[in-house]
A and B are shown apart, each in its own frame.
Chain A
Amino acid sequence: DAGVIQSPRHEVTEMGQEVTLRCKPISGHDYLFWYRQTMMRGLELLIYFNNNVPIDDSGMPEDRFSAKMPNASFSTLKIQPSEPRDSAVYFCASTVGRAYEQYFGPGTRLTVT
């Protein structure tokens, strides 16, 4: 397996634009997590899915953020409109269960100017 795949790897956009981050989990994994990492706030869990269903989105910072998982092999995290404070590295991770190793993707470095 190629591991967790994320795209794009880098995204630079202007404030107010819509940003869509993509993730392909490892085949057979039924949990998918989205994280945001910054120097100031560390590693934050934004939302996680189980069998494509959002279970807990309490970490999503505000309504500008939304996430979907239309099928077992694809998830998106969307920010609309984007703001400079959204600049961060966004990681996607997948696992076979919450009490098992999470496999992280390479991350998407988002810069909002």
Chain B
Amino acid sequence: GENVEQHPSTLSVQEGDSAVIKCTYSDSASNYFPWYKQELGKRPQLIIDIRSNVGEKKDQRIAVTLNKTAKHFSLHITETQPEDSAVYFCAANYQLIWGAGTKLIIKP
């Protein structure tokens, strides 16, 4: 069946460094790729998304890149800050299939 693989499951980076999370999907029909952030004890919230007609999208320190040929998309966070600590989820197949999540830890 369709699936989304998300890596790594846990990522620990030094404050100020960059973090990259990658998702690989299997459904060729997918054309919308969102990233959600979930802080501890809170609800998931969209932080950035990309559609298949573009290869990259940026919003301040956050960027998403998409490679439709290889069927993967990545979340890039630069100049990480303590408030970036959270669990990040990707989704594909029109948000019907979600990655397992990546716990991002920012070390002071």
Total contacts A-B at CB 8 Å:
41
A44 CA to B44 CA in the complex, in Å?
Answer: 13
Binding site for B on A (CB under 8 A): 33, 42-45, 48, 56, 91, 95, 98-102, 104-107
Question: Within 8 Å CB of A105, what residues of B?
Answer: 43
Whether the Cβ atoms of B51 and A99 lie closer than 8 Å is yes
Chain B residues with Cβ under 8 A from A99's Cβ?
Answer: 31-32, 51, 94-95
Q: State the CA gap A106–B44 with chains docked (Å).
A: 9
Interface residue tally for chain B (C-beta within 8 Å) = 18
When distances are taken between beta carbons in the complex, the residues of chain B under 8 Å from A44 are 98
Cβ contacts under 8 Å, B95 to chain A: 33, 95, 98-99, 102
Chain B residue with Cβ nearest A56: B96
Using A98-B94, A105-B43 as known contacts, say yes or no to A42 and B51 having CB atoms under 8 A apart.
Answer: no
Tell which of B34, B49, B100 touches A42, judged by Cβ atoms closer than 8 Å.
Answer: B100
Report the bound CA distance from A33 to B43 in whole Å.
14
Question: Contact at A42–B101, with CB atoms within 8 Å?
Answer: yes
Please encode chain B, from 24 to 54, with 1 for each CB lying within 8 Å of some chain A CB and 0 for all others: 0000000110101000000111100101000
Contacts A91-B43, A104-B43, A104-B45 given; indicate if A45 touches B31 (C-beta within 8 A).
no
Task: List the B side residues contacting A106 at CB < 8 Å.
Answer: 43
Given contacts A98-B32, A107-B43, whether A45 and B96 have CB atoms under 8 Å apart is yes
Q: Complex: how many Å from CA A103 to CA B8?
A: 25
Do the beta carbons of A98 and B44 come within 8 Å of each other? no
Whether A43 touches B101, Cβ cut-off 8 Å, given contacts A98-B94, A98-B95, is yes
Residue of B32, B43, B96 with most chain A CB atoms under a 10 A cut-off: B43
Q: A43-B89, A98-B96, A102-B34 are in contact. List 4 more A-B contacts (CB 8 A).
A: A42-B101, A45-B96, A98-B32, A104-B44
Can you list 13 A-B contacts (CB < 8 A)? A33-B95, A42-B98, A42-B100, A42-B101, A43-B44, A45-B96, A45-B97, A48-B96, A99-B32, A101-B46, A102-B34, A105-B43, A106-B43
